[in-house]
Amino acid sequence: MILYAKQDISSQDIDAVVAVLKSNYLTQGPKVPEFEQAVCNYTDARYAVATNSATSALHVACLALGVGPGDLVWTSPITFVASANCALYSGADIDFVDVEPSSGNMSPAALAAKFAQAEKKGRLPKVIIPVHLAGHSCDMQSISSLAAKYGVRVIEDASHGIGGSHGEHKIGACRYSDITIFSFHPVKIITTAEGGIATTNDAQLAEKMALYRSHGITKEPQKLHRVDEGPWYYEQQTLGFNYRMTELQAALGVSQLLRLDMFVEERNRLAQCYRDGFSGSNIKTVDPLQASLSAYHLQIVRLPNPEERRVIFEKMQADGIQVHVHYFPVHLQPYYMSLGFKPGDFPEAEAFYNRIMTLPLHPGVTQSQVKFIVDKLLAHVAA
Ligand SMILES: *Cc1c(COP(=O)(O)O)cnc(C)c1O
């Protein structure tokens, strides 16, 4: 089976994790700060807060921005459910902004229309969460200037995106957002097994996210309410969680980060093979914006005929090719439908979903495997 995604673990990665196992600290030692600093250096963000998943990072990001009961958050319907769940964890309401038909990313035109409507109704969101689907940057210039116009904060869900850029700015630099989230789940670009991180240039947001990550507890003397209790004293100042990353994970992250650019280059090379393979056919690759470098988490293609997707999917699997679909629209999940969303609410997202298929793309795939996959898919679509 050619897997759709797979981690790439080197002997250096293994040595880095084993070294932590032999050290004094399995958690709350020097490796997490080292990983955070390495991600700051890479992305050019000022602060980074590592967590045990991107899901947790999205949650602490919402809390740090003050999202709570009575607030509203908007994200894309074409994403993993975590992009929306974080609003509900925070006690806020969720809504969605429809996507661009070619990219599946949040549509600036739909966002502009929805903002105008929301302003009329007197209920603007507190935060919007655009998602860089497949690692392809959303049109962040348009999205961030619209958000600024309405006084709305922005979290980029760049779970697919580490290693990519918008224009000359690395994703994670937060040039167009308050906070950026990355995921290090094994299917993503680099891995810490489970793990995530939030980057920001705002010291206060970083401090709040760090507080929420660790029970709402601080030990830093200058932040304590009770100054004279004693050197053993730590203080819980808000209701936080245990969302900490372990030292084992951070060591793996530091080691993986050294090969990030190589992974992204290889993913782009393979994506070019897919583009070349499908050019002139009725299978359309989902491509990044001109002025951005994609980390290429996923190779998504749009098929000519939604009615044939199921059959073609099953034929690909039978050929030993693990295909996938990213994503079933979040608003049509039974849980979200129980909140009142229904088919037809986001027609572009639903139309996008109906045609898409994800093909294998990761550094363990060879160019000849890509040719094999392209040939099979072309044959099944023509049949
Ligand atoms: C993977 C993913 C997440 C969640 O990441 P975890 O690290 O598994 O919690 C969130 N958003 C998107 C778009 C993702 O793909």
- pLDDT value at position 383? 87
80 ligand 1 Cβ < 6 A: yes
- pLDDT value at position 123? 97
Phi, psi of 108 (to 5 degrees): -60, -35
- In this structure, the strands spanning 93-96 and 72-75 are parallel
Residue 269: closest CA among 379, 368, 132:
368
What's the CA-to-centroid distance between 273 and ligand 1, angstroms? Answer: 27
Phi, psi of 101 (to 5 degrees): -65, -30
In the chain the beta strands, taken as DSSP E runs, fall at: 47-51, 72-75, 93-96, 127-129, 153-157, 165-166, 169-170, 179-183, 196-200, 217-218, 235-236, 284-285, 292-293, 299-302, 356-359
Which ligand 1 atom is nearest residue 160's CA? 15
d(CA 37, CA 39): 5
What's the CA-to-centroid distance between 135 and ligand 1, angstroms? Answer: 12
d(CA 346, CA 296): 25
- pLDDT value at position 234? 95
54 ligand 1 Cβ < 6 A: yes
Q: CA torsion sign, 183 to 188 to 193 to 194?
A: positive
185 ligand 1 Cβ < 6 A: yes
218 ligand 1 Cβ < 6 A: no
Give the pair of three-digit tokens for residue 55.
């899901």
Crossing angle for the helix pair 31-43 and 247-257, nearest 10 degrees?
30
What's the CA-to-centroid distance between 187 and ligand 1, angstroms? Answer: 10
82 ligand 1 Cβ < 6 A: yes
**How many Cα atoms are found within 13 Å in the side-chain-facing hemisphere of 77?**
31
Please give the radius of gyration of the chain, using alpha carbons only, rounded to the nearest integer.
21
- pLDDT value at position 177? 98
Which ligand 1 atom is nearest residue 326's CA? 15
List of long-range contacts for 7-15, beta carbons under 8 Å, 24+ apart? 7/186, 7/187, 7/191, 8/259, 8/263, 8/362, 8/363, 8/364, 9/191, 10/255, 10/259, 12/255, 12/258, 13/252, 13/255, 13/256
Q: Give CA separation, 269 vs 110, 285, 298, in Å.
A: 33, 14, 13
Residues of the chain with pLDDT under 50: none
- pLDDT value at position 291? 87
d(CA 106, CA 329): 13
By most ligand atoms within 8 Å of CB, the mutation choice from 56, 79, 80 for ligand 1 is 80
